[in-house]
Amino acid sequence: MADESSQFPVSYRYFGSQFQLWRQNAQVRRETIAEAANYSVDTVKSVEQGRRRVPPRLAEIADEMFGARGLLLAGIPYLKRERYPERSRSYFQYEGEAISLWWYEVALIPGLLQTEAYARALIGDHYPPLDDETVEERVSARLERQTLFASKPPVACNFVMYEAALRCPMGGAEVQKEQLLHLLEIARLRHVSIQVLPFERVVPPALSGPMVLLETADHDRFVLVEGQSLSQLTSDPEEVSVMTQSYGMIRMQALSQEESTRFIERLAGEL
């Protein structure tokens, strides 16, 4: 199981550890600083654990009470949110360096193909709930990744989606229709292919979950597989080979690009 603390920004965790060290060196109890700054003890504890950004007033009073002489406050400007959850950052780095990308999804539209409304509906309904600022940052970051389609030289992209992903009414019928029309638009790009795996053509590997296979300019190959809250990115040749074979089987059963276009057009026309 992944370390629970890894979901919080590194800058929050580093500042929290420094806050705690200064407090302990000054021999100040959590209850004392909490009362002086008019915050709860739980707030102080959350700051020290890196679970939340330190409130400005708490930082100012702590800096004075701990005798830090501005050294603690100097870390405030660096307390920025990370754009992506830590478990995903390595993948996004390699995605930005990809020369080819093969993506299979079971239940959702691939992130690189999502409209803003679809992404907002998906991220905004995250559980546990996210604050508005985090939602906006993640939606913006997801849309920014789509500049990959304009990369030079072009990135060869193939997407295969199980029919369930296309029929899922994420955000409602209007958002769903806009999303389907967006897929048709992206499918017109010369270096992008979009295929649909219909219900009646399903094969066992298609039900095992999503996967992304990519190759970088250095010809390093990676595979990403995801679950409910965990991601695994690996370059292990055996794992990459197994997933490549699975992807090949799924793609072989999928509709052709032309058939997939007609399939998506029909679904959009029903909405």
What per-residue confidence (pLDDT) applies to 127?
A: 78
Same domain, 63 and 30: yes
Question: What CATH number did the domain enclosing 57 receive?
Answer: 1.10.260.40
Same domain, 192 and 261: yes
Same domain, 32 and 157: no
Quick: pLDDT tens for 51-102. 888 888 899 999 999 999 999 999 888 776 655 555 566 788 889 899 999 9
Confidence of residue 260 (pLDDT cuts 50, 70, 90): very high
Question: What CATH number did the domain enclosing 224 receive?
Answer: 3.30.870
What per-residue confidence (pLDDT) applies to 176?
A: 97
Position with higher pLDDT, 9 vs 48:
48
Same domain, 199 and 97: yes
Q: 37 lies in which domain range?
A: 4-78
Q: What value does the mean pLDDT take over residues 172-189?
A: 97
- Backbone angles phi and psi of 132, in degrees to 5: -60, -40
Same domain, 253 and 192: yes
Same domain, 32 and 137: no
Q: Which of 43, 78, 113 is the last residue of a domain?
A: 78
Confidence of residue 130 (pLDDT cuts 50, 70, 90): confident
Same domain, 23 and 97: no
What per-residue confidence (pLDDT) applies to 227?
A: 79
Residue 235, both tokens: 């370059």
In angstroms, the CA 37 to CA 93 distance is: 40
Number of domains in the chain: 2
Same domain, 136 and 223: yes
Same domain, 200 and 96: yes
- Ordered strands of the 231-234 beta sheet: 192-197, 156-162, 98-105, 211-216, 221-226, 231-234
Is 142 a residue whose pLDDT tops 50? yes
Same domain, 204 and 110: yes
What mean pLDDT, rounded, does the chain reach?
Answer: 90
Quick: pLDDT tens for 2-44. 444 455 677 888 899 999 999 999 999 999 999 999 999 999 9
Is 268 a residue whose pLDDT tops 90? yes
What per-residue confidence (pLDDT) applies to 146?
A: 95
What per-residue confidence (pLDDT) applies to 2?
A: 41
Residue 60, both tokens: 């100012």
Percentage of the residues of the chain whose pLDDT score is greater than 90: 72
Q: How far is CA 74 from the centre of its chain?
A: 30
